[in-house]
Structure 1
């Protein structure tokens, strides 16, 4: 699990295939600096 401060919003796009461990898409806001 990814733990960060709630300074920015992280949207997890999880398809039904994730139940089978296929693909997890994590989208980070491009206009936000993610450090550390």
Structure 2
């Protein structure tokens, strides 16, 4: 359970979450622009 408190693991999880959220927003905006 100690690996969750490491800053590098937390930053990696946050970076992946933000990256996926940005990709989702871009895909949604592209779908709206195409229609």
Tell me the TM-score normalized by structure 2: 0.23
User: Which structure has the highest helix share of the two?
Assistant: 2
Which of 1 and 2 has higher RCO (CA within 8 Å, sep 6+)? 1
TM-score, normalized by length of structure 1? 0.23
